[in-house]
Amino acid sequence: MEYDIAAIIQGYAQGYFLMADDSDRLGWYASRDRTLIPLDERFRYPKSLQRVLNQERFSVAINRDFQAVVAGCSNRETTWISSELQEIYWLLYQKGFAYSFETWQGNELAGGILGIVIGGAFIGESMFYRITEGSKVAMVKLVERLRQRNFVLFDAQMMNPHLERFGAYHIEDKEYQALLKKALQRRCYLV
């Protein structure tokens, strides 16, 4: 199947996101409020994670194994990442829009975050781990990277208890759209 990559990027640039429903039908979704990961001093993480970071048990990579991260993110009992959406992520990756931010323990993929970069916006699609703390370390290191590269926003789309521990917060769609517009005017690069 052929996909219109420009139209897909335009959809994300307008604040929509792709998800498959229970029947694996792909559709565009929007939310009245969004969850953001703060890129300022509001970002926090548990003290126990600081010990893990200090031990340097994990190395960080970007796009070392993009498809393994997509597979890891979709390997759940219930998932919105259908095989069609996996194909779209692969095409977005090939065009330089989709990224996997990964943690590794030696030659083993420990965890990762899948996201789409448009301007100064990192739109987090999903995350997973295979080794305890792998995705948490990826989160901390990704936020550091986004700060270094002057990103405006880290959109996590929907809140969950895991994200809350990192200082994730809700904003209303109107505020999100203004922030997204500002982010789209920037040229930021993850790599």
Per-residue pLDDT of 32-75, as tens digits, reads: 999 999 999 999 998 899 999 999 999 999 999 999 999 999 99
Q: Over the chain, what HEC string results?
A: CCCCHHHHHHHHHCCCEEEECCCCCEEEECCCEEEEECCCCCCCCCHHHHHHHHHCCCEEEECCCHHHHHHHHHCCCCCCCCHHHHHHHHHHHHCCCEEEEEEEECCEEEEEEEEEEECCEEEEEEEEECCCCHHHHHHHHHHHHHHHCCCCEEEEECCCHHHHCCCCEEEEHHHHHHHHHHHHCCCCCCC
Residue 93's pLDDT is: 98
Tell which CATH architecture fits domain 5-184.
3-Layer(aba) Sandwich (3.40)
pTM: 0.96
